[in-house]
């Protein structure tokens, strides 16, 4: 499978390698990218447990994996500080680099640690979940949560390499695969064309873990994101379109303490809410039929306090400008737009998401 080269106006460059078995070539890929010095291998403790036989041999070149027990609830600045302390203990210097192996929480936190440590060292993202491979792994958005909301603190710090190894997905439970496919469906609605058709045809096969169905969906989503982030590195324009479904989705996560919905489940519900605001959109029924095929294990019932908390979280969304909540909507499949939403619109979107 291909290597996708992403060049940014800032001069940064990311090579995204999508290849079964790429994890075993990680030391060679790092060397080929010009990375040297002492590395720090930060690894999600769950991934280390599941893939120990594959990860421990990397220690000869990258040092022993530094296991971190991360979760959405622990996606905080104290965890970033702890990672930086671990890098210091490992002896990583300014000529070194960070390798992050794990899901989106781990790569977000480790990327932020790399951005801050020694005022910035290079890093490599090795996303181990479908959600992270198609979303968090590429684009350089690192971050941590505050009590007020998700990813409200962070930095843009482009990874030198993104390594997507489909073999890492074999151990994912069904709920995790569906969570990742929610982001793929989001990309399909932004892109249309072949990616949309593949989703409509192969969604359930991909959710069952069939590699021949999954791999083209991963590549299609990564190519879309690569094209968008290369043109808009710091979310000054079209990169905001990647937040389709996320205004409601992030609000649902915050309102339920990041413990009830997976990120993909929240995005899937957010896509339903988004489509409720796309009045007059051609093929809205087609889009909704695809979104409604995404399986959501968590119950969508929220009490009145949680619903109000979700509405408040929308008003703190990163896309808010001058107090106005902005939604990414669709004029049609493949044509996103950014529109300001009233309080009534926010309530309507939330109601549709939870219906």
Q: What was the pLDDT predicted at 1?
A: 57
**Pair (189, 331) in one structural domain:** yes
The mean of the pLDDT values for the chain is 93
Q: Which residues are catalytic?
A: 119, 141, 183, 225, 235, 239, 243, 246, 250, 263
**Pair (98, 196) in one structural domain:** no
Cα–Cα distance for residue pair 342/344, rounded to 1 Å: 5
**Pair (148, 193) in one structural domain:** no
pLDDT in tens, 57-97: 999 999 999 999 999 889 999 999 999 999 999 999 999 99
**Pair (259, 158) in one structural domain:** no
Cα–Cα distance for residue pair 93/111, rounded to 1 Å: 16
**Pair (12, 158) in one structural domain:** yes
pLDDT at residue 232 above 80? yes
**Pair (179, 165) in one structural domain:** no
CATH of the domain at 252: 1.20.1090.10
Percent of the chain at pLDDT > 70 equals: 98
Give the chain's domain count. Answer: 2
Place 192 in a pLDDT band, splitting at 50, 70 and 90. very high
**Pair (124, 259) in one structural domain:** no
Query: 211 or 97: whose pLDDT is higher?
Result: 97
Place 316 in a pLDDT band, splitting at 50, 70 and 90. confident
**Pair (179, 161) in one structural domain:** no
Domain containing 114 equals 3-171
**Pair (19, 160) in one structural domain:** yes
Burial of 285 (0-12, 13-18, 19+ CB in 10 A): exposed
pLDDT at residue 290 above 60? yes
pLDDT at residue 198 above 70? yes
**Pair (69, 209) in one structural domain:** no
Ramachandran sector of residue 302 (left: φ over 0; alpha: ψ -120 to 50; beta: rest): beta
Among residues 132, 150, 171, the one where a domain terminates is 171
pLDDT at residue 333 above 80? yes
Cα–Cα distance for residue pair 185/182, rounded to 1 Å: 5
Q: What was the pLDDT predicted at 318?
A: 66
pLDDT in tens, 144-173: 999 887 788 999 999 999 999 988 888 899
């Amino acid at each position: 499978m291909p290597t996708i080269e992403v060049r940014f106006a800032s001069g940064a460059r990311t090579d995204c390698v999508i290849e079964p078995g790429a994890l075993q070539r990680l030391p060679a890929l790092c060397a080929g990218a010009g990375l040297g010095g002492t590395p720090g291998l930060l690894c999600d403790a769950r991934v280390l447990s599941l893939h120990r036989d594959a990860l421990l041999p990397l220690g000869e070149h990258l040092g022993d994996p530094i296991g971190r027990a991360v979760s959405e609830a622990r996606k905080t600045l104290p965890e970033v500080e702890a990672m930086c302390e671990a890098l210091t203990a490992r002896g990583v210097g300014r000529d070194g680099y960070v390798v992050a192996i794990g899901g989106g929480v781990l790569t977000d936190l480790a990327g932020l640690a790399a951005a801050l440590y020694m005022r910035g060292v290079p890093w490599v993202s090795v996303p181990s979940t479908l959600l992270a491979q198609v979303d968090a792994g590429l684009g350089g958005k690192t971050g941590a949560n505050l009590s007020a909301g998700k990813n409200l603190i962070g930095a843009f710090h482009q990874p030198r390499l993104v390594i997507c190894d489909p073999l890492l997905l074999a151990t994912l439970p069904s709920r995790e695969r569906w969570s990742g496919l929610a982001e793929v469906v989001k990309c399909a609605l932004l892109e249309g064309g072949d990616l949309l058709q593949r989703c409509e045809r192969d969604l359930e096969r991909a959710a069952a873990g069939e590699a021949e169905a999954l791999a083209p969906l991963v590549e299609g989503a990564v190519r879309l994101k690569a094209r968008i982030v290369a043109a808009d590195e710091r979310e000054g324009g079209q990169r905001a379109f990647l937040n389709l479904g996320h205004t409601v989705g992030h609000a649902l996560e915050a309102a339920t303490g990041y413990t009830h919905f997976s990120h993909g489940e929240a995005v899937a519900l957010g896509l339903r809410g988004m489509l409720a605001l796309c009045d007059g959109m051609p093929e809205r029924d087609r889009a909704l039929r695809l979104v409604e095929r995404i399986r959501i294990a968590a119950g969508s019932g929220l009490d009145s306090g949680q619903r109000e908390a979700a509405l408040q979280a929308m008003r703190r969304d990163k896309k808010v400008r001058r107090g106005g909540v902005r939604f990414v909507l669709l004029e049609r499949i493949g044509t996103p737009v950014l529109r300001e939403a009233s309080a009534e619109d926010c309530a309507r979107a939330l109601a549709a998401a939870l219906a």
